[in-house]
Amino acid sequence: MRQYPHLYIDGQWTEPIEPRHVDLVDPTREEAFARVALGSAADAERAIAAARRAFDSFSATSVDERIALIDRVIDAYESHIDEFSELIAREVGIPVANRAQVTGPAQHMRVARDLLREYPFESRIGGAVVRREPIGVCALISPWNWPVQTGVIKLIYALAAGCTVVAKPSINSAASGALLAQVLHEAGVPAGVVNLVNGRGRDVGDMVSRHPDVDMVSFTGSTGAGRQVGAAAADTVKRLCLELGGKSANIVLPDADLERAARWNIQRCFFNAGQSCHAPSRMLVHESQVEQVVPFLVDEARSFRLGDPLESSTTMGPVVSAGQFKSIRDHIQSALDEGARLVTGGLERPDGLDRGYFVQPTVFTGVTPDMTIAREEVFGPVLAVLPYRDEDEALRIANDSVYGLGGFVFGGDRTRARRVVDGLRAGRVSYNGAATDSYTPMGGYKQSGIGRSMGRFGLEEYLEVKSVYGFEDEAQELPPLFG
């Protein structure tokens, strides 16, 4: 069994104050493969103190110094890419063939670095100087479904801004969190600037969210957990950036290429075994065309190769845990009980896989907006197809959700499609499967979150704004904030 017996605090690998550990279960084999140190509130206190001590000096570093640091982090990270790929296959079941999970983080680091080269930390409004300054100590709480990339996006923009960090990865992906700390150590991040404390949300997560010496909390996870983080942070009025749950809709207009829309929806929805907050898990199809899209959906869903994520031929691994496996199956059962029509997949394990938390790619039609499967985030490879009568009803169904993270529209007439895109209440909307851009903001409406990550908007989450008066001459040499 692999051993990860240390936390990373103040530039040193250190054992928890109270010797504790947790075993990580390989979801493919249903057996423990690694043991990681488990921190407590007391360990989080130490990490916060180290970050606070380091803030004054790190926040005063120049842009060029931070760019050089990010370059060193990129080099160190890229030397460990294959190790990351193998590790997340073991801890959360992500296939090694899914290279986006391990190449994406380096791309986000480069975006942050390049943005930093040009970002105006000082600008002007009239005769006033407007400064943007690092907010302070940041608590970064990351999920398991994008175990490296989500943590990297938070971390790299915090460093770019000049902030110091206490990072808490998910317990399910604590081993890749430890490897990321090793990368930062190898890159020469100054002591105390980045600290890693594995731990449970009720201990470490609650401590960093409440602590008065933490200035900002960035959290990605479920909406329920996000509410708890927000409530804990409220007493000290911290900056919050929350990326939470989603139940994204894909509206397929009658003039869309139905086969392309259907196959794309399956691939995007079932990517990462459906464990993606932006997954288009509701596909809205005109009532006259539902039966036309079903064969494409079924064929594409059955094209996935389920199996050991360490094998290069596998395109879908297991879901992350026994608890997640049960939750997904419970949602499938609820759809059956409530009268949805199962067209592929279901409750049974995939053929030949009698061990591991494997869920068949599953598609339901005949879903109505009031069904559980249409309203709750399943977070698994399950698609609900809902019929609509006209464009207005499609938008009403799509927006009738507590969530507003992502949205998707397929159609031929661009003017009509743009009208539907503009009507969706979601933070990111893609037309005809257009790819997203790492420079653009990511975040949600409604209970899908607060704030934005990535690009300029992501950097500014880690910056305070200061208005300075009395330096009119100096202000005239700065770029205007607007215009």
Any idea which residues carry the catalytic annotation?
Answer: 243
Residue 401 neighbours by CB under 8 Å, 6+ apart: 247, 249, 375, 446
Whose CA is closest to 283, among 273, 272, 275, 270? 270
| Residue indicated by tokens 């051993």 | 3
What does each C-alpha distance from 188 to 105, 106, 178, 263 come to in angstroms? 18, 17, 16, 45
Tokens of 61: 């570093």
DSSP codes, 308-361: -TTSTT-SB---S-HHHHHHHHHHHHHHHHTTPEEEE--SSPPTT--SSS----
Q: Cβ distance 250 to 278 under 8 Å?
A: no
Residue 25 backbone phi and psi in degrees, to 5: -95, 125
Tokens of 75: 């080099």
Helices 149-161, 63-78: inter-axial angle, 10-degree rounding: 160
Residue 125 backbone phi and psi in degrees, to 5: -125, 110
Tokens of 139: 């608590």
Q: In what order do the strands lie in the sheet with 122-125?
A: 122-125, 128-134, 463-468
In whole angstroms, what is the distance from residue 102 CA to residue 201 CA? 25
Q: Cβ distance 129 to 478 under 8 Å?
A: yes
Burial class (CB in 10 A: 0-12, 13-18, 19+), 367: buried
- Residue 22's beta-bridge partner residues? 36
What does each C-alpha distance from 271 to 138, 239, 306 come to in angstroms? 31, 32, 12
- Residue 364's beta-bridge partner residues? 342, 384
Whose CA is closest to 384, among 433, 339, 420? 339
Q: Cβ distance 476 to 124 under 8 Å?
A: yes
